[in-house]
Amino acid sequence: MKNSQLYKGSLNTIIMKLLGENGRMYGYEITQKVKDITQGELNITEGALYPALHKLEAEGLLDVEMERVDNRLRKYYKLTESGQKETVNRLAELEEFIRNMQIIVNPKLA
């Protein structure tokens, strides 16, 4: 990930937001979606994405579905009920974080 230290803490929230908006997605689809939305500025690496997805799944925030697609197995992720609630909380936290950072970085604009 570009500027990895800055984006690291937000990765789970980014994943959950995307899944909240798009229903179910698979790993590669998530990386491409983020790349498209940020016009190539943010590139989620596989080494960051899959551990994050597996951890969210282990925490019961994501559910998975396996399907045979194009000669291989595809694993789709979607938010569970508790995942949907948690997404709202995390987005609120992230928005608060962005507001506070704006105050610190640009106090005149705040």
State the residues that interact with other proteins by CB under 8 A: 26-29, 45-48, 50-51, 54-55, 57-60, 64-66, 68-75, 82
Nearer to other proteins, 9 or 60 (CB): 60
Q: Looking at this protein, which amino acid is placed at residue 46?
A: E
Min CB(32)–other proteins separation in Å: 8
Min CB(23)–other proteins separation in Å: 18
Contacts with 74 (C-beta within 8 Å, 6 or more apart), sequence order: 26, 66, 67, 68
Min CB(10)–other proteins separation in Å: 18
Min CB(91)–other proteins separation in Å: 21
Nearer to other proteins, 7 or 26 (CB): 26
Read off the tokens for 5. 């230290």
Nearer to other proteins, 23 or 47 (CB): 47
Q: What is the 3-state secondary structure (H, E, C) of 26-77?
A: EHHHHHHHHHHHCCCCCCCCHHHHHHHHHHHHHCCCEEEEEEEECCEEEEEE
